[in-house]
């Protein structure tokens, strides 16, 4: 007899935690010799996406929002970067991850937090077009419960921003058609 795992069985945050380590390279800097913020954003998104994929268990995900990414200090060429992502809040089809980036000189033991933020991913079905349900988040500690409650509040703000962006898009389209009409 084959034993099937329930794909929607709740999963704890530690089960999908991701740690990614890279060394920064000369081509990644701005004219002032420090790392482009966009390089950090890309790494943050990749790491968060892997955590979300692990939580969802299978299939595809897409990034719906990256918000409140705060850069706390510069990163220099040749430094080691450590990016961690942990799932903090889960909706029906959406997964939020907190992403932290630490930098460290290659030959010194001086690890420092350089960026922190949140990203929101949506699981997609096999067609890649429609959202797909994901396992709930199994919360075991007060800290995890508090983070999930804050994640729910952050999600409400994201959805408000999305509504506003869609309204602005509609208003801009309407203004264009009025001009050309």
Ligand X SMILES: CC(C)(COP(=O)(O)OP(=O)(O)OC[C@H]1O[C@@H](n2cnc3c(N)ncnc32)[C@H](O)[C@@H]1OP(=O)(O)O)[C@@H](O)C(=O)NCCC(=O)NCCS
User: Which residues make up the interface to ligand X (CB under 6 A)?
Assistant: 62-65, 91-94, 120, 122, 131, 158-159, 162
Cβ atoms of 80 and 102 within 8 Å: the answer is: no
- Distance in Å, CB of 71 to ligand X, minimum: 21
Rounded Cα distance, 129 and 109, in Å: 46
Rounded Cα distance, 51 and 155, in Å: 18
Query: 3: which 2 tokens?
Result: 């034993």
Closer to ligand X by Cβ: residue 48 or 91:
91
Residue nearest to ligand X according to CB distances in the complex = 91
Q: Is 60 helix (H, G, I), strand (E, B) or coil?
A: strand
- Distance in Å, CB of 73 to ligand X, minimum: 27
Closer to ligand X by Cβ: residue 112 or 163:
163
Q: Which residues have a Cβ under 8 Å from the Cβ of 178 and sit 6 or more positions away? A: none
Closer to ligand X by Cβ: residue 36 or 161:
161
Closer to ligand X by Cβ: residue 52 or 75:
52
- Distance in Å, CB of 90 to ligand X, minimum: 7
Nearest to 148 by CA among 93, 106, 87, 100: 87
- Distance in Å, CB of 5 to ligand X, minimum: 22
- Distance in Å, CB of 37 to ligand X, minimum: 17
Cα dist. 96→15, 102, 148 in Å? 14, 20, 9
Closer to ligand X by Cβ: residue 111 or 162:
162
């Amino acid at each position: 007899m084959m034993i099937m795992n329930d794909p929607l069985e709740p999963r704890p945050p530690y089960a999908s935690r991701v740690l990614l380590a890279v060394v920064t390279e000369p081509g990644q800097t701005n004219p002032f010799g420090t790392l482009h913020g966009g390089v950090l954003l890309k790494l943050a998104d990749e790491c968060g996406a892997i955590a979300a994929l692990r939580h969802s268990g299978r299939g595809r995900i897409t990034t719906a929002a990256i918000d409140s990414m705060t850069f706390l200090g510069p990163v220099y060429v040749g430094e080691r970067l450590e990016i961690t992502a942990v799932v903090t809040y889960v909706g029906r089809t959406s997964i939020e991850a907190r992403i932290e980036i630490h930098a460290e000189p290659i030959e010194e033991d001086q690890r420092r937090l350089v960026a922190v933020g949140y990203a929101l991913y949506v699981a997609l079905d096999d067609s890649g077009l429609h959202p797909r349900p994901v396992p709930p988040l199994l919360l075991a500690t007060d800290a995890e419960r508090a983070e999930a409650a804050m994640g729910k509040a952050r999600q409400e703000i994201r959805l408000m921003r999305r509504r506003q962006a869609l309204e602005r898009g509609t208003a801009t389209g309407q203004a264009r058609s009025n001009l050309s009409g």
